[in-house]
Amino acid sequence: MVTIEDFQKIDIRVGKVIEIKDAETKKPMYVLKVDFGESGIKQSIAGIKPNYEKEELLNKKFIFVINLEPKRIANILSECMILAAEKDDKVVILQPERDIEIGSKIS
């Protein structure tokens, strides 16, 4: 079980995708540049390419975990993780239902 204290350590925020490009990886992935306002700009590598076109992501706001330990995937640094619901081959990225400032904390 995860305690509430453990959960509160996870920094989940609203970020806006400001740049997107194809990742040079074996699996179809995107490299995202994401603006979190005062928390800065971070890079993420995400395996969402089979489910989303670039135009569906660019300049849109989504939900990210921003305090994970950075990880290199196919020599690309990933500094945050986009959150999505997944079932079988269907992937749906989480995003705010209403407009809210980038960098807003999810609690």
Model pTM greater than 0.75?
Answer: yes
Residue 107 in any domain: the answer is: no
- The two tokens of residue 72 are 């290199």
Given pLDDT bands bounded at 50, 70 and 90, which one contains residue 15? very high
**Is residue 33 domain-resident?**
yes
Domain assignment present for residue 56? The answer is yes
Q: Average pLDDT of 32-54?
A: 97
**What six digits make up the tokens of 1?**
């079980």
Return the biggest CA–CA distance within the chain: 39
Q: Using the 8-state DSSP alphabet, how is residue 55 labeled?
A: H
What tens digit of pLDDT does each residue of 54-85 get?
Answer: 999 999 999 999 999 999 998 999 999 999 99
Q: Which structure tokens are listed for 38?
A: 């005062």
pLDDT at 89 over 90: no
Domain assignment present for residue 77? The answer is yes
Integer Cα distance of 81 and 43 in angstroms: 9
What the block records as the tokens of 77 is 């640094």
Query: 50: domain range?
Result: 14-93
